[in-house]
Amino acid sequence: MTTDSAFHSPTHRHLQRWALALDAVPHAMLSALLLLALAASILFLGAALWALATGWALPLTAPLRWFGLLAGVARGEPYFADLVLGVAAIGTLTTWLSVWRSRAEMTTAWDTRLNVILRWSGPPIVAAALLIGLGAMWAGIARPGDPHWANIGGLVPFSDANGHLAEAFYQTQHGTWTSWALRRPLAAAFRALLLFASGASFPAMLIVQACLLAAAACLAAHAVMIWRGIWAGLAFFGLSYLYLRTFAPTSLSEPLGLFWALLS
């Protein structure tokens, strides 16, 4: 049998029909997840802003108390990165198969559409995910992996985290650094700046810090997507988020280092 006849054989045509569906699966999966995540993010952020306007001391806890669905999302947030990495793995596999079947043009068209969607929906989703994690600690929702060892209940800095926050207050009051702050002067300067921008409120400082980390993570992931494709960018973000969610709710120096590293 010649190569042309094999190409036009019934078996090959049957495989090609399945290939069309296989190409669409990860993109459809990602699109559905983005829509669900964006809807939950809008609900959470809108409710938190309403709580802030009506005088809640910890506005991130209000949506988790008002909506059982968001409380469930908060309990599942530690596995957000696992979900992203799973979708990236499926997408990578189907992309390899598409290239092998000479379907690269179709895959590129899907990726172009999703890149546009991710560019606008990514930042609010990532910010909401980090803020939901912070609100869950404030609301007393017990979850695996939360950094209570550095920030008890999300509101009481402990050990090194307490030292970094205390130094920021000391600098704003006295205008000088102690030997503790001089161990990491850039981190001390950035922490004092965050505290000043937050009106000397520790909860507000953590909220601003989470938003900055979300923006930096999205910019870095977008750069990787431009460089190596959408699935590489998602994988990069998933691995970054595993680290981000550990330190975003703390006043340690790691969140500040992560912010500048991701921007670079």
Domain positions in the chain: 8-263
Number of other residues whose CB lies within 10 A of the CB of residue 245? 23
> Could you tell me which of 189, 80, 186, 54 has the C-alpha nearest to residue 136?
80
At 12-70, the pLDDT tens digits run 555 455 555 566 677 778 888 889 999 999 999 999 999 999 999 999 999 999 999 99
At 80-124, the pLDDT tens digits run 999 999 999 988 887 777 655 555 555 566 667 777 778 888 999
Per the CB < 8 A criterion, the answer to whether 230 and 63 are in contact is: no
- Which secondary structure element, helix H or strand E, spans residue 48, and what is its range? helix 10-53
At 130-140, the pLDDT tens digits run 999 999 999 99
Burial (CB count <10 Å: 0-12, 13-18, 19+), residue 131: buried
Q: Which of 18-22, 47-51, 175-179, 225-229 has the highest mean pLDDT?
A: 47-51
Taking the model in full, what pTM does it have?
0.86
